[in-house]
Every structure is written in C-alpha cells, then in structure tokens.
Structure 1
Amino acid sequence: MGEGLSGLRAVLFDLDGVVVDTAKYHYQAWKRIAEEENIYFDEEINERLKGVSRMDSLNILMERRTREYTEKQLEQLADRKNGYYVAFLNQMAAGDILPGVMAFLSELKHCGIKTAICSASKNTDTILERLNISPLFDTVVSGLDVARSKPDPQVFHIAAQRLGVPAEQCLVIEDSAAGIEAAALAGMKSIGIGRKDRLGQAGSVIASTEELCLALTRRLF
C-alpha cells in the first residue's frame, strides 16, 4: 500500500452529480412535478436543489407556487417526486458512474486514503447497490442517517467520526453550493465540481470529474 498525501487521510464524496450521474433524474422528476402543478421551474432553480433534502427542495420549488398547499399535500408531492425518481433509477447502468471517478478511487485506495459517501439522498444505498460500487467506500452516510441536510455539516461530521479522521484531514468533493458551505462549516477543505461562480467557496473548482486526481489534492494539502 502506498503512502497517503501529507495531511490528507479521507475523501468524502457527495453522490448525485459527483460519483454518479443521477442529477439528471432528480431534474426530470422535479420538472414533472412542476409541470403537473403548474409551477415555474428551470435550470437555475434546479441548481438550488442540489445537495439539499427532498422536503427542503420542495420548499424551494414552492416559492413559485400558484396556489396554497396543506402539509399533507406537500408530503404527498414529495412522495410522488420520489416515486418518479426511483422509477428513473431503474434505468441506471455502469455508464452512469461519472468519468474519472473509478480511477480516482483506485488512486486513493492505493495510497491508503479512506473514502466515504455523504449524501442527502435516502436512495443512496439503492443507487450504490444497483451499480455494485458499495465496496469501494469505507462508510456511507445518507439521508437516512441525518436529521439536518446540507448546508448543515452533520453528514460530514458523522462520516469523519465513523472513519476516525479529524476534520482538517478530510477533503470533500461536492457539486452544490450547499455542500461546499457544509464542508466549510465542518472545518474541511473541498473541491467543487461545476461553475466557479456558484462554488467559489471551495478550495479548488473543476469543470468535470475527469479532472479528479491526487495531483489536484496536493494543491490543498
């Protein structure tokens, strides 16, 4: 086993849009709900939904509502959205693993650096098992394990505790502003994947997962 980078002992990955390309399925499911409810929805609004829980996402969608909803109706909408999303997940295949991720995970394993999934999704285990990539991570923290969604740092705190690694030796990989903020609140360094104007708080921002490599992490540790 190789030696890890000085200071870096664990890499914590978001799931949707970082390890697997499920972000498109979330978008399609929310778009369908918006169309059915006559609520305006576009890519900009969708960006705000990344990294947050289902109910928090629904609350953002409801900012453009054209009528009032009871709590029960909101819960039913959230359940309907999840039903659409899970149906889309049945289409998933190995090709939905984002480019560069498997090679990066292999590099980390070779260097003895621990890995974790930190996702707000309650479907995390389903996705990992469907793609047969659960064994690649030392621990998985999902929406079933946390009471507060990002930007609250709870999901990262739990992962670090399970891995036995202090926050300052963890690196977070995220594609959402909420996730990058959560990493900062957790006292962890981060790499953002996406637009620099949205992820500027990250220690480094890259355009694609294809750029993930140990050389990139050396700039932060």
Structure 2
Amino acid sequence: MKKGFVFDLDGVITDTAKFHYLAWKDLADEIGIEIDLKFNEQLKGISRMDSLERILAYGNKSDAFTTEQKEALAEKKNTHYVELLQDLTPDDLLPGVQEFLNDAKAQNVPCAIASASKNAPFILEKLGVQDAFDAIVDPATLTKGKPDPEIFVRAAEAINITPAEAVGFEDAQAGLDGIKAAGMYAVGVYSGEELHGADLIVHHLTDISVAELLQK
C-alpha cells in the first residue's frame, strides 16, 4: 500500500518548459551561444546552475566567466523567466491535475513537490493549487540535484512517509532515475521525451486514479 505522492512540477503539474526555453535562449544569444529546442531537452529536470553550465560547455565557454558572473547570468535568466510566468492561471494546469489533487485531498493522501525550481511556491500560487500540497522541498537546501535521489527522499520525509510508501511523478529522465534510486514507485508522465525505467507511463493524470496508485 502506498501512502503519499511526490510530484515534480514542470511537465507534471503544468508546462512551463516553453518559458524556460525562451529565457535560456535569450541569455544564450546574449553571450554568443546558439541553442535550439533539441538541446533544450538536456536542461529538463536539472537545476538552474547545472543548466547554465551545460549551455556554457555547449558553446565552449565553460571558462569564460567567473563564479560570480555565472551566478549573475543565472539570476538574469530567472528574472526573465519569472516575468514570463506572470500570465500563468489555473487554466495552465495539465489535464487531470486538479481532479487528481482534489481526490488525493479527499482521501487524506499527503502530497509533496520535489522540483529543482526555486520558483515552485510562486508557480503553485499562480496555478491556484498551493493548498493541495503539504510540503515543498526547497532546492536551495539540497547538496545534490537530480538524478540524485536526495530531493525525493526529503519529500517523503516531509510528508512523514518512507520512500517505499511513496509514488513519484516525473516527466524527465533525470527525475525518474532519482525516483527509482530513492526506492519509490515511479510514474513517468510522457511529454515527448522517451522515458526509461518507469513502473508506469501515462500521458496525463487522467490516465490513472488515486485509488489505483495507492494499491501499488
């Protein structure tokens, strides 16, 4: 029997990937690096600084900036990204999410967010679902990013269950690898990227019910 749910945010609860891409592309253009949507797949599910490092490596500019300059670049990208998020509304929830969260709350199933995004609280507020979650792991408190299982273990602890008692939801391979490494049952949410190692793959949360998952 499972006792709680742990969700990634982007690609599972809502799709802000397009905003991430626009913000990273503008920044990359500014420093003379050209990225496209194919390259952007590498940035899904990983932290802001890890994303920047991959962009710099792709443009052969890993050593072109100091640590302070890199932090400033990452902050500039985030400022632009947050500006793009201002128009988010509950209509931007992915199909089935609101109903699934409502059902989980009705059955007293605790839910946590395990996202690399430091903007998770803001995004959940814009989507109108912040009250559906009992805990949000602060990525700034982590020592390692996905695919390390740390964030998922912390999420389970935050809702007072063991990882083995949790179902994790992810749309990115790095996240799925982290869920499995934590010892959770893994639901892969297909968003165009081929996923490996998931216990179950769905296109939307309309494809599965709370009751079914609790029996896993």
Number of aligned positions between the proteins: 214
Q: 1:26, 1:85 within 8 Å by CA — same for their partners in 2?
A: yes
2:34 aligned with 1:28: no
Among 161, 185, 190, the alignment partner of 2:186 is: 190
Query: In the alignment, is residue 157 of structure 1 matched against residue 158 of structure 2?
Result: no
Q: d(CA) in 2 for partners of 1:114 and 1:66?
A: 45
What is the CA-CA distance between 1:196 and the residue it aligns to?
8.0
- Unmatched 5+ stretches in structure 1: 1-6
* Secondary structure at 1:171 match in 2: strand
Q: Which residue of 1 aligns with 2:90?
A: 94
Q: 2:101 aligns with which of 81, 98, 105?
A: 105
Question: Judging changes above 3 Å, is the alpha-carbon distance between structure 1 residues 197 and 55 closer, same or farther for their aligned structure 2 residues?
Answer: closer
Could you state the TM-score of these two structures normalised by the residue count of structure 1? Answer: 0.88
Contact residue 19 and residue 97 of structure 1 kept, 8 A: yes
Identify the residue that residue 3 of structure 1 maps to in structure 2: none
Q: Deviations over 1:8-45 (max 9, x none)?
A: 10110111111122222111111111222221312222
- Counterpart for residue 166 of structure 2: 170
Structure 2: how far apart are the matches of 1:53 and 1:174? 15
TM-score, scaled to structure 2: 0.90
Q: C-alpha separation between the residues in 1 aligned to 2:141 and 2:181?
A: 19
Alpha carbons 2:149, 2:179 under 8 Å: kept: yes
In the alignment, structure 2 segments of 5+ residues that lack a partner are none
State the alpha-carbon separation in 2 of the partners of residues 175 and 88 from structure 1: 22
Amino acid of the structure 2 residue aligned with 1:64: Y
1:1-221 matched pairs, under 5 angstroms: 7-67=1-61, 68-194=64-190, 198-214=194-210, 217=213, 221=216
| In 2: Cα distance, 1:210 partner to 1:62 partner | 39
Structure 1 CA distance, aligned partners of 2:40 and 2:147? 16
Aligned equivalents of 2:149, 2:187: Cα separation in 1: 16
Partners of 2:207 and 2:33 in 1: how far apart? 36
2:172/2:193 contact within 8 Å kept: no
Q: Deviations over 1:132-184 (max 9, x none)?
A: 31111111113233232111111111111121111111000001111101101
Q: Using the alignment, how far apart are the partners of 2:6 and 2:12 within structure 1?
A: 11
Letter in 1 for 2:87: Q
- Once residues 125 and 193 of structure 2 are traced to their aligned partners in structure 1, the CA distance between those partners, rounded to angstroms, is 34
Q: Percent identity?
A: 37
- Structure 1 residue matching 2:167: 3-state secondary structure: strand
Q: Is the 8 A contact 1:10 1:169 kept in 2?
A: yes
Query: Over the residues paired in the alignment, what is the CA RMSD in angstroms?
Result: 2.0
Q: CA–CA distance in 1 between the matches of 2:210 and 2:170?
A: 16
